[in-house]
Amino acid sequence: MSITVRWVAVLGVGISRFGKRSEGLIDLLSESAVMALDDAGVEQVDELVVANMASGEFEGVSGVGSILVSRLGLEPARAYKVEATSGSGGAAIYVASNSILSGMSKVALVVGGEKMTTKETPEVSEVIASILDEDDRAHGLTLPSLAAFSARNYMREFGATRESLASIAVKNHYNGSLNPHAHFRKRITIEEVLSSPIVCDPLRIYDYCPISDGAAAVILADINVAKKYRDKFPVIRGIGYASDTNSPIERDFLFEMPAVRRAAEMAYAASKRGPRDIDIVELHDMATILEVIISEELGLFERGRGWKAAEEGVTSLDGELPINTSGGLKAKGHPIGATGVAQLVEVSMQLLGECGERQVQDAKVGLTCNVSGFGAGVTVAVVEVI
């Protein structure tokens, strides 16, 4: 029987180790793409969407879609790159999902990646800061400093403690220690977080994600096509995308991300699921405070309550609502273009019971939330196995 719901199948996934890698961007992307093609068992795709922010700045490479379609032998598939800074992966999934829902594509390969360690940290910071408003940037503003403004105000407003934020880093490092693809496999303690060097007061090195190389891929497909390959697979039941000012200091509150709220509402409405239905979450913890803010904007916790969740174990692997089972950006790493795709890979693997030591029992509904910049663009997807 033919299904007419507006769901998109996740037919295959591929991911390799995040961290400092010797390969260049094209090889990293190819590696994950081939894994996803093999996992899905498909030989050809209609469309190849590459998620990447700064191949030009990091490696002097442009036209990544064209390069990759040839390298993978996927001609004449439509091939292009989607760029939305750190939200590129989510945006690419959004674009490919719409192609499938419109009927223009039956099978699409989405592969996201970034090669960052070609440059020293100050140069990487410069590339990342290039996404900020020009006037803000002239003052020396950085993405990490936006998180610091946010953390200071959140802590003051809701009484959150430094320890509570540190416990998010501790949790995500623990999860990363169980993930063979994670950049950091080392467990850390609250004391180590609180005694690590200050990056932007009140946040420290262990509050932030590292600079990593890496790539991840998914094969998205029309549900009726997917059924010919498999009996059981995850589907994106609903997806939302929204934007907001790219100068976050303009917002009414420095601890809010209205685009997360908006994208989540769209994804919940489309999927006919709500925050109470969610069993596992992969979200954009560029800094510890962002895990708190985003989890609240997603409606998973009331405003001002999210900071207690990690400390009380609610969001740990064996808690009621595990968040960032992969280790998140914090410990798995954040190769910019890869992140949104890697989130869908993790949630799909969790729902299929393929996560080994970090497997969450009985997870039925997953959610991903990928963020551009500091909330300038957000993709939220609700995923379930059928």
Partner 1 sequence: MGVPLFICRRCGRAYPKQRYRCRRCGSPEFNVLEASHGKLVSFTEIHAVRVGFKRPLRLGVVELDNGGKVVGILDLADPKMGDRVVVTRNSNLNFIKPAD
Within positions 62 to 121, which residues make up the interface with partner 1, using CB under 8 A? none
For the bound state, the minimum distance from the C-beta of residue 318 to partner 1, rounded and expressed in Å, comes to 34
The two tokens of residue 55 are: 């191949």
The two tokens of residue 95 are: 């674009």
**Contacting residue, 38, 75, 126, 191, with partner 1 by CB under 8 A:** 126
Question: Which one-letter DSSP state was computed for residue 360?
Answer: P
159 binds partner 1 (CB under 8 A): no
* Residue nearer to partner 1 on the CB measure, 6 or 152: 152
Task: List C-alpha distances in Å: 354 to 17, 361, 369.
Answer: 16, 11, 21
133 binds partner 1 (CB under 8 A): yes
* Residue nearer to partner 1 on the CB measure, 201 or 312: 201
In one-letter notation, the amino acid at residue 111 is V
* Residue nearer to partner 1 on the CB measure, 156 or 186: 156
- Please tell me the distance from the alpha carbon of residue 79 to that of residue 69, in angstroms, as a whole number: 6
For residues 199 to 218, the per-residue mask of contacts with partner 1, x marking binding by CB under 8 A and - elsewhere, is xxxx----------------
How many whole angstroms from its chain centre is CA 205? 20
136 binds partner 1 (CB under 8 A): yes
125 binds partner 1 (CB under 8 A): yes
- Quick one: which segment of 73-81, 132-140, 210-218, 226-234 binds partner 1 (CB under 8 A)? 132-140
Contacts of 131 (CB under 8 A, 6+ apart): 53, 85, 143, 246, 372, 373, 376
8 binds partner 1 (CB under 8 A): no
* Residue nearer to partner 1 on the CB measure, 3 or 198: 198
245 binds partner 1 (CB under 8 A): yes
- Please tell me the distance from the alpha carbon of residue 259 to that of residue 28, in angstroms, as a whole number: 30
Count the neighbouring beta carbons within 10 Å of the beta carbon of residue 353.
13
At residue 333, the 3 state secondary structure works out as coil
For residues 246 to 265, the per-residue mask of contacts with partner 1, x marking binding by CB under 8 A and - elsewhere, is -x-xxx--x-----------
Question: Which one-letter DSSP state was computed for residue 287?
Answer: B
8 Å CB contact between 226 and 310: no
- Residue numbers of the site for partner 1 (CB under 8 A)? 122-123, 125-126, 129, 133, 135-136, 138-142, 144-145, 148-150, 152-153, 156, 197-202, 245, 247, 249-251, 254
